[in-house]
Structure 1
């Protein structure tokens, strides 16, 4: 196992343990020190990866994807021939290949929000921050340097829409993971459908 893989495994362990602790006793039912003891890490190690107890529960890592977004902004990671929106979807797929995706973990997250609905606001704020980071990377990659140019933000928001629709299918209770498409396949399919939907000319007689 490489150092990067060990780091990802450690972060996943901290996040999973924190989420289980919230489901069992709420956000105030455990301390960071208790979490560190359960996972077998020091307090210093914890704060190397997460800024707060709320952030570890939500899986909001410090400097998450910073290197990957920087590389994408510089024109690497995904093919340079891709248009802006497909390039962001390809970037997300690349992230999935590294971090993976777990349907069981998503169910645990739902239980967390049921137990601590106040975490929703923090999650939405973190999501908006991440969208802005992606938009900045898109802006740099495609040299859209005018601050008033909305295209980079539109691309990032559109990518979020594709992710949400794909996640709605993949994480549905009746989805069969054994026979159904992989999440990255759903992303590709929904990107294609979205592109077709916004480029097909209006039919005659419609307005």
Structure 2
């Protein structure tokens, strides 16, 4: 296992254990020290990855998104010949590969929200911050620097809608992961359908 893979595995253990502890004891029913003891890491290691216990529960790793967005903006992460919406979809796929995608873990998140409803608002606030950061990265990548140019925001919001629809399908309890498409394939197909919907006259129902 490479150092990068070990780091990702450790980060994932901290997130999963933070979520399990929240479900069992509530967000205020355990300390960072107890979480570190369970995972077998120091406080210093914990804070190298997460700014707070809340961030660990939500899986918000310090600096991880900033690095991805910087690489996206300068063209070193996804090909520069992609159009704006396609480039964000490619970015989302890269992010999923870095963070990892686990339907069982998503079920943990739902249980966290049931146990701590206030975490939903924190999750939505974090999503808004991330969406704004994606929009800024799109501006930098495509040179849309005019403050009145709303294309970057529109593209970022459209991509967020694609991800929401894709996640809604992929994480649905009725979805069969063994026979259904991968998240990447589902997201890519939803992008295709969105493009078809935008360009169709409304008469062709087979696009």
TM-score normalised by length of structure 1: 0.95
Q: Secondary structure at the match of 2:143?
A: coil
The corresponding residue for 2:37 is 37
Which residue in 2 is equivalent to 1:98? Answer: 98
Aligned position for 1:70: 70
How far has the Cα of 1:201 moved from its partner?
3.0
Using the TM superposition, give the Cα deviation of residue 65 of structure 1 relative to its aligned residue in structure 2, in angstroms. 2.3
Q: For 1:89 and 1:121, how far apart are their aligned partners in 2?
A: 25
| Alignment-derived partner of residue 119 in structure 1 | 119
Distance (Å, rounded) in 1 between the aligned partners of 2:67 and 2:35: 28
CA distance in 1, matches of 2:49, 2:150: 32
Mapping for residues 29-178 of structure 1, pairs under 5 Å: 29-178=29-178
CA-based RMSD of the aligned residues comes to 1.1
**CA distance in structure 2 between the partners assigned to 1:25 and 1:98 by the alignment:** 29
**Could you tell me how far apart the structure 2 residues matched to 1:170 and 1:105 are?**
13
Which segments of structure 1 move beyond 3 Å, counting only runs of 4 or more? none
**Which digits, 9 at most, give the CA deviation of each residue in 1:101-134, with x for residues without a partner?**
1000000100000000001111111101111111
**Residue range with higher mean Cα deviation, 113-122 or 62-71:** 62-71
Once the two structures are superposed, what CA deviation does each residue of 1:170-191 show, in whole Å capped at 9, x if it has no partner? 0111111000000000100111
With the length of structure 2 as denominator, give the TM-score of the two structures. 0.95
- Number of aligned residue pairs: give it: 203
